[in-house]
Amino acid sequence: MKRSMRNVSIRHTLAASLAVGLSLVMATPTLGQEEPTLASSWFRMFLWSDDVIGLMIIWLLLMMSALSVGYTIKLIIDCRRATLVPEETQQNLAAMLAEKRYREAIEYAGSDPSYLGKVVSSGLSEASNGYSAMERAIEEAGDAEATKLLRPIEYLNVLGNIAPMMGLFGTVYGMIVAFQQLVESGGKPDPAQLAAGISTALVTTFWGLIVAMPALTAYALIRNKVDALTADGLIIAEEIIKPFKPSTKKSSSGSVSSSRPAMAAKASVRA
């Protein structure tokens, strides 16, 4: 009796296990018919196109996006205050001029690659012609160096303006492909055929905007930062050359005589 009950329970267990196994097999997709994962669907949605030209436009815009990000990082590093207007350069030049080491200051400014160093070097080179000439030289050098700094930033502006145009090109091309399928099918196309062209049109526009928005934002922010730093650099340069500014003193007879505290510097420049 016990043996028969045990056999019945074993049979019930085997039947239940078989039923569970069959249900799992029926629920699991067969090999080659797996449902697309989220990653693969996103890849085909935003990074792939069945049309060769559409695929080329998408990946070209992706490369432009990577180029824009890398170039933005480079500009941020190159356009820091520590690079354009370093505090060490300001302190060293001020100390040298205060100690009347004019020749050493001229050589130090000439070897300094920063914006401040180049501007002060231009001013010190005109010390023999007077303080007004030094001021003019600083302003001219400041404008020239600022132009050199702003010119590379324009590439971001170019990327930001070209990317939407390329996206628009992909949009027009995708719509042409979609309407061509409509014509070839006699007005009754397969929706999948129309979807390919429309997908190309929308995805290229999407990536064009993805490239343009960060590029134009970075262009505006970095340009404003360079403008602010170069303006500060000019102010600091004028503060550095203040020892060369002529001072006026009244003599005992009431007449005004002009003295130049930087006369020794001019002699050093002539030498």
Domain boundaries defined on the chain: 47-246+258-270
Q: Is pLDDT of 42 > 70?
A: no
pLDDT above 90 covers a percentage of the chain that reads: 43
Which pLDDT does position 191 carry in this prediction? 73
**Quick one: which of 23, 84, 105, 34 has its CA closest to 222?**
84
Backbone phi, psi, residue 254, to 5°: 95, -10
Residues 6+ apart with CB under 8 A from 44: 36
Residues 6+ apart with CB under 8 A from 127: 102, 134, 244, 262, 265, 266, 269
Backbone phi, psi, residue 50, to 5°: -70, -15
> Span 191-213, mean pLDDT?
82
The pTM score is: 0.71
Residue 95, CA distances (Å) to 65, 87, 226 in order: 46, 12, 27
**Quick one: which of 117, 59, 62 has its CA closest to 92?**
117
Q: Is pLDDT of 31 > 80?
A: no
pLDDT in tens, 58-115: 888 889 999 999 999 999 999 999 999 999 999 999 999 888 888 999 899 999 999 9
Which tokens sit at 176? 């042409």
Burial 138-165 (b: 16+ CB within 10 A, else e): bbebbeebbeebeeebeebeebbebbbe
Residues 6+ apart with CB under 8 A from 240: 90, 93, 94, 97, 120
Residue with tokens 């941020």: 76
